[in-house]
Chain A
Amino acid sequence: MLNRFMQSRLRGLMVLALILIIIPAFLSNPFHYELATQIAIIGATVVGLNLLVGFAGQISLGHAGFFGLGAYFTGIATGTYGWPSVPALLVGAIVVGIIAWVVGRPILRLKGHYLSMATLAVGFIIAIILNNERAITGGPDGMPVPAFEVFGWELSSFGTYSLFGLEISGVQAWYMFASGVLLLAVWFALNLIESPIGRALRSVHGSEVAASVVGVDTAKYKSLVFVISAIYASLMGGLYAHFQGFITPAVASFEFSILFITMVVLGGMGSTFGVILGAVVLKLLPQVLADFQELETVMFGLILMLTMIFMPKGLLPTLTAAVSKRLRKKTGGKA
Chain B
Amino acid sequence: MLAEFLQYLFTGITIGATYALIALGFTLIYNASHVINFAQGEFLMIGGMATVSLTAMGVPMAVAVVLAVILAGVLGIALQRLAIAPAKQADVVTLIIITIGASIFIRGIAQLVWGKQYHVMQNFSTSEPIQVFGAVLNSQSLWVLGVGAVMVVALVLFFTKTLIGKAILATSMNKDAARLVGIRTQMVLMLAFMVSALLGSVAGIVVAPITFTSYDIGIILGLKGFVAAAIGGLGSGVGAVVGGLALGIVEAMTAGYISSDYKDAVAFSMILLVLFFMPRGLFGAKIVERV
Contact = CB atoms under 8 A, between A and B. Distances in A.
A188 interface: no
Contacts of A112: 92
Nearest to B289: A209
A7 interface: no
Interface stretch (A11-19, A81-89, A298-306): A298-306
A297 interface: yes
Interface string B254-278: 0000000110110011011001100
Contacts of B261: 128, 131-132
B109 interface: yes
Interface stretch (B10-18, B152-160, B177-185, B223-231): B223-231
Nearest to A213: B291
Interface string B110-143: 0110000000000000000000000000000000
Nearest to B84: A309
A254 B41 CA distance: 15
B94 A265 contact: yes
Contacts of A299: 108
A294 interface: yes
A294 B109 CA distance: 9
A300 B93 contact: no
A265 B108 contact: no
B105 A301 contact: yes
Nearest to B98: A308
What does DSSP make chain A's interface, helix, strand, loop or mixed?
Answer: helix
Contacts of A132: 261-262
A269 B227 contact: no
Given A301-B107, A309-B86, A117 B226 contact: yes
Interface in B213-260: 223, 226-227, 230, 234
B230 A114 contact: yes
Interface residues of B, number: 46
Q: How many interface residues does chain A have, given as a range?
A: 35 or more
Nearest to B83: A305
Given A209-B291, A254-B223, A118 B109 contact: no
A296 B280 contact: no
Given A113-B230, A309-B87, A53 B264 contact: no
Contacts of A258: 100
Nearest to B284: A114
Given A114-B230, A117-B230, A209-B291, A308 B97 contact: yes
A106 interface: yes
A23 interface: no
B103 A301 contact: yes
Contacts of A116: 36, 96
Given A59-B92, A113-B92, A128-B262, A305 B105 contact: yes
A297 B272 contact: no
Interface in B18-39: 30, 36
Nearest to A129: B265
A300 B108 contact: yes
A271 B78 CA distance: 32
Given A121-B271, A121-B272, A298 B227 contact: no
B93 to A, nearest CB: 5
A297 B97 contact: no
B92 A121 contact: no
A110 B233 CA distance: 12
A308 B87 contact: yes
Contacts of B265: 124-125, 128-129
Q: Lowest 6 A-B CB distances belong to which pairs?
A: A301-B105, A297-B108, A301-B104, A304-B101, A298-B108, A305-B101
26 contacts: A109-B279, A113-B230, A114-B275, A114-B281, A116-B36, A120-B223, A122-B272, A124-B265, A124-B268, A125-B272, A131-B261, A209-B291, A258-B100, A265-B91, A265-B97, A300-B104, A301-B101, A301-B102, A301-B103, A301-B105, A304-B104, A304-B105, A305-B102, A305-B105, A308-B94, A312-B90
Interface of B: 30, 36, 83, 86-87, 89-94, 96-98, 100-109, 111-112, 223, 226-227, 230, 234, 261-262, 264-265, 268-269, 271-272, 275-276, 279-281, 289, 291
